[in-house]
């Protein structure tokens, strides 16, 4: 089966995670895909495929004869989709021989070249989108599909390989993908996450990340007699946000530039809440962002009264480069070699996000991230090509072959 055919099947299973639930998985629907994948792995020959009660799928493909001493490579992808946009009733659309131009998606939305200038470069490929009113779910079901296709090829084509370890995780999109990850159960010496963008991405630098919740408690009295008394929490929420640097948001930043991102705002005159994510490749600069928010809260409390504004932070993940650079750059270098051998130009760019691999690298399992062939994740404009996914499968197969040579 082709990787894109698997993606289409997986995309139709709703698996959105949910923020702030405090249990794993955050949504029980993630088990629907997990059960499907566990059974599919067994059919492919992964006899020990296992689904845990916290919704992790593990499995191993034993080394071929003569390759038992090769390093055990892990491949990891996540099952959940972003809660930022609907993942219910996804209807993938397949456009063969795409003409490189604008695409009417439906629901009044158009995938436009002016917003996505890489589109003409996909001309002639088989383009896969959703229907305009949902995301596609290629983040990260494309990664899962590519790993599954790799396993199928290794088994059916008798490709020499070392031991292969697999894990599909829940809740990556809400920063909890490794909350119950069992590194000893995986048993890998090194691993790769398939959770990136265009084919050829080889990523070992990512944002340091934390979430912030700002609580505002107002003083609500009748507006006719409010002078000198009322503290309008909703209005104060806008004042807090206005104190942050207006140009340090996702719209105005790129590459290694960090940002403040307001993800939700709700409130009344009585009370209000703002939710942010803070990102920076430099850990010291991320700390400065936290200090800035604390300073704004302290300033507003001086103006409106103690306890009016409070800020709570939650660390989400850290930059894996600090763990990869010292001893494990061979993972990056071999991924680059594999990418070049597949006829794809390697894209060594800093990821403006994070993956399970970032957290796993800090927990002792070196884990760079590879592209899946997808674009415009987390929204209705998400798209991928069948050819790009095929290249991603070829790249990870060549990585397996490179490490299998160590076992000869």
The residues that are catalytic are 80, 172
3-state secondary structure 188-228: CCEEEEEEECCCCEEECCECEEEEEEEEEECECCCHHHCCC
**First-residue to last-residue Cα distance in the chain:** 30
Task: Answer whether the bond into residue 59 is a cis peptide, omega within 30°.
Answer: no
Handedness of CA 62, 67, 70, 74 (dihedral sign): negative
Whether residue 155 contacts residue 110, with contact meaning beta carbons closer than 8 Å, is answered with no
Cα–Cα distance for residue pair 195/367, rounded to 1 Å: 11
Enumerate the β-bridge partners of residue 15.
none
Q: What string of DSSP letters covers 28-68?
A: TTHHHHHHHHHHHHHHHT-TT-EE-TTS-EEEEEPPPTT-T
- For 159, phi then psi, to 5°, come to -85, 125
Q: Which ranges in 82-136 belong to alpha helices (H)?
A: none
- Nearest CA to 191 out of 222, 160, 169 is that of 169
Which strands form 208-217's sheet, in the order they lie side by side? 259-267, 271-280, 208-217, 309-317
């Amino acid at each position: 089966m082709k990787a894109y055919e698997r993606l289409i099947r997986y995309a139709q299973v709703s698996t959105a995670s949910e923020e702030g639930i405090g249990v794993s998985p955050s949504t029980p629907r993630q088990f629907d895909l997990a059960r499907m994948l566990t059974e599919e792995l067994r059919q492919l020959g992964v006899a020990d495929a296992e689904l845990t009660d916290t919704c992790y799928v593990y499995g191993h493909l034993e080394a071929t004869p003569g390759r038992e001493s090769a390093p055990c490579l892990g491949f990891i992808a996540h099952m959940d989709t972003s809660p930022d946009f609907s993942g219910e009733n996804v209807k993938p659309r397949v456009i063969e021989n795409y003409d490189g131009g604008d695409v009417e998606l439906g629901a009044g939305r158009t995938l436009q070249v002016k917003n996505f200038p890489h589109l003409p470069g996909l001309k002639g490929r088989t383009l896969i989108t959703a229907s305009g009113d949902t995301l596609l779910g290629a983040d990260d079901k494309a990664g899962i599909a590519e790993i599954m296709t790799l396993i199928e090829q290794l088994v059916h084509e008798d490709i020499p390989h070392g031991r292969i370890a697999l894990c599909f995780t829940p809740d990556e999109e809400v920063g909890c993908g490794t909350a119950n990850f069992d590194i000893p159960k995986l048993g890998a010496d090194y691993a790769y996450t398939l959770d990136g963008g265009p084919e050829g991405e080889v990523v070992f630098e990512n944002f340091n990340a934390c979430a912030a919740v700002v609580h505002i408690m107002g003083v609500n009295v009748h507006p006719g007699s409010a002078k000198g008394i009322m503290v309008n929490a909703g209005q104060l929420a806008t004042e807090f946000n206005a104190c942050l640097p207006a140009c340090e948001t996702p719209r105005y930043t790129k590459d290694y530039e960090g940002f403040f991102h307001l993800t939700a705002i709700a409130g009344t005159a009585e009370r209000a809440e703002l939710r942010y994510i803070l990102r920076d490749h430099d850990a010291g600069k991320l700390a400065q962002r936290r200090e800035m928010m604390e300073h704004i809260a302290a300033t507003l409390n001086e103006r409106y009264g103690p306890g009016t504004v409070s800020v709570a932070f939650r660390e989400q993940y850290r930059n894996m480069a600090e763990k990869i650079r010292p001893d494990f750059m061979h993972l990056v270098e071999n991924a680059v070699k594999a990418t070049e051998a597949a006829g794809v130009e390697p894209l060594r760019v800093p990821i403006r996000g994070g993956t399970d691999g970032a957290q796993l690298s800090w927990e002792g399992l070196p884990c760079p991230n590879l592209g899946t062939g997808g674009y415009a994740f987390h929204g209705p404009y998400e798209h991928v090509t069948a050819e790009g996914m095929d290249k991603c499968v070829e790249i990870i197969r060549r990585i397996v072959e490179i490490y299998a040579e160590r076992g000869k």
